[in-house]
């Protein structure tokens, strides 16, 4: 049986609120039948990425507010959350700078692993990771909506719902200081290699490191191995290719799927929904300190109760989009969007989706159901949202 994936295009073909993306998003939420998923009084984690300093292409607050209103109408109590990526209080300031706060969204914004990134519950994962630390506020929530801004990613090629959970659902470190999310990077990557002869000393690697773990002493690269997460940002920005971080794609993306399974295993069946925003689709992740020109036009919003189906539909729709020439794609002479993330970032995003399917998290066999507008209460057509 095919999994249902609802799709609302970003195009608005009527001068009417109900045909605009926000109106269609309201109808999409209705189609998801939130009362079936959310029990009365359920705390509902709305898991998303809050952005970074300089990276503002996150999901717009108006959509967060509509989701919060729908969750409350279903009897739930929503909170917007992510895990520590940069120091906790600084990350909350980034969220506010991006317009994500309780006043704008109608829901409190908290860090799922606490402001120090060490609030977690250890759970069984799989053969690669073993036990892994799931952020406590996500672990303890009875229900969750995984709200993903779809874009490229330095290590996985693409970041959507699987990456949102597989990396973002884990705590930063345990109480002993052992990395949890960083373990995935350590399993994926060998040690960073520096070629002094190629290095121009531009210091871009120092500037881009979110952990302050890299620097130069007497023109020699020095890495604080205790703080380094092997995330690969430094090698990504090195213009001379002086920094190389070898990685194993199958291990990394297998880890993403495995840790996503660990996070989802803390919820009862049917208590998690997935909403993917195919908007402002740039080559880089929202964790980078930039917001580059999108590589394809805005496509729409997808929603499903099946993580594999929503990810499969996302990649399929992006693969059929037009390429924006004045973007990173144009810089690389990419003219077709088929396999665009692999062409941009050198990694096949299908690995993580296939790994998630192999773990039984969902099915890549889906039916795309269009949501064209929000109908009137009597079903006869678009309503006037202003009441006159």
Q: Which residues pair with 216 in a beta bridge?
A: 221
Q: What is the largest CA-CA distance in the chain?
A: 74
**Backbone angles phi and psi of 287, in degrees to 5:** -85, -10
Reported as a single tens digit per residue, the pLDDT across 267-304 is: 999 999 999 999 999 998 888 888 899 999 999 999 99
Reported as a single tens digit per residue, the pLDDT across 50-101 is: 999 988 999 999 999 999 999 999 999 999 999 998 899 999 999 999 999 9
What is the pLDDT, as a whole number, of residue 248? 75
Higher-pLDDT residue of 187, 161: 161
Reported as a single tens digit per residue, the pLDDT across 295-353 is: 999 999 999 999 999 999 999 999 999 999 999 999 999 999 999 999 999 889 999 99
User: Residue 66 half-sphere exposure, CB side, CA atoms within 13 Å?
Assistant: 17
Give the C-alpha separation, 78 to 92, whole Å.
17
Give the C-alpha separation, 160 to 153, whole Å.
9
Give the C-alpha separation, 17 to 39, whole Å.
30
What is the pLDDT, as a whole number, of residue 185? 66
What is the pLDDT, as a whole number, of residue 164? 97
- Fold annotation for 190-244: Alpha-Beta Plaits (3.30.70)
CA nearest neighbour of 45 among 152, 168, 160: 168
Pairing of strands 157-159, 151-153: antiparallel
What is the pLDDT, as a whole number, of residue 220? 79
Reported as a single tens digit per residue, the pLDDT across 205-234 is: 888 887 777 888 878 778 777 677 666 777
Cβ contact 336:323 at 8 Å: yes
Higher-pLDDT residue of 377, 156: 156
pTM for the full predicted model: 0.87
CA nearest neighbour of 164 among 176, 144, 142, 149: 149
Residue with tokens 């002479």: 333
Residue spans of beta strands (DSSP E) within 201-313: 214-217, 220-223, 243-244, 272-278, 300-304
Indicate whether 199 pLDDT > 90. no
What is the pLDDT, as a whole number, of residue 388? 36
Residues of the chain with CATH 3.40.50: 3-184+248-370
Domain 3-184+248-370 has CATH 3.40.30: no
Residues of the chain with CATH 3.30.70.20: 190-244
Q: Which residues pair with 367 in a beta bridge?
A: 4
Give the C-alpha separation, 256 to 314, whole Å.
17
DSSP character at residue 55: B
């Amino acid at each position: 049986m095919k999994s249902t994936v609802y799709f609302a295009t970003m195009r608005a073909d009527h001068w009417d609120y109900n045909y605009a993306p926000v109106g269609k998003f309201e109808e999409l939420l209705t189609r998801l039948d939130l009362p079936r998923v959310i029990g009365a009084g359920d705390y509902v984690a709305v898991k998303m990425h809050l952005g970074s300093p300089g990276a503002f292409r996150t999901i717009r607050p108006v959509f967060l507010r509509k989701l919060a209103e729908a969750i409350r109408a279903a009897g739930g109590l929503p909170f917007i959350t992510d895990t520590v990526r940069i120091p906790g209080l600084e990350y909350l300031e980034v969220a506010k700078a991006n317009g994500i706060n309780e006043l704008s969204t109608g829901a409190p914004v908290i860090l799922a692993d606490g402001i120090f990134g060490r609030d977690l519950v250890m759970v069984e994962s799989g053969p690669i990771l073993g036990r892994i630390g799931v952020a406590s506020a996500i672990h303890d929530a009875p229900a969750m909506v995984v709200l993903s801004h779809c874009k490229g990613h330095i290590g996985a090629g693409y970041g959507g719902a699987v990456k949102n959970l597989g990396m973002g659902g884990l705590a930063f470190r345990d109480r002993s200081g052992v990395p949890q999310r960083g373990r995935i990077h350590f399993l994926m990557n060998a040690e960073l290699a520096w070629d002094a002869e190629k290095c121009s000393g531009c210091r871009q690697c120092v500037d881009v490191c979110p952990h302050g773990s890299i620097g130069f002493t007497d023109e020699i690269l020095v890495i604080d191995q205790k703080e380094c997460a092997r995330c690969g940002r430094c090698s990504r920005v090195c213009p001379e290719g002086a920094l190389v971080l070898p990685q194993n794609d199958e291990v990394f993306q297998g880890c993403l799927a495995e840790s996503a399974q660990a996070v989802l295993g803390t919820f009862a069946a049917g208590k998690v929904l997935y909403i993917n925003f195919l908007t402002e689709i740039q080559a880089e992740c929202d964790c980078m300190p930039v917001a580059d020109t999108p590589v394809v036009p805005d496509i729409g919003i997808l929603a499903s109760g099946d993580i594999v189906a929503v990810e499969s539909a996302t990649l399929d729709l992006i693969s059929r989009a037009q390429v924006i020439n004045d973007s990173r794609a144009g810089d690389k002479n990419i003219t077709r969007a088929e396999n665009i993330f692999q062409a941009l970032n050198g990694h096949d995003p299908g690995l993580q989706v296939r790994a998630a399917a192999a773990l039984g998290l969902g099915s890549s066999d889906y039916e795309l159901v269009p949501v064209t507008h929000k109908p009137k209460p009597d079903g006869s057509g678009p309503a006037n949202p202003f009441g006159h």
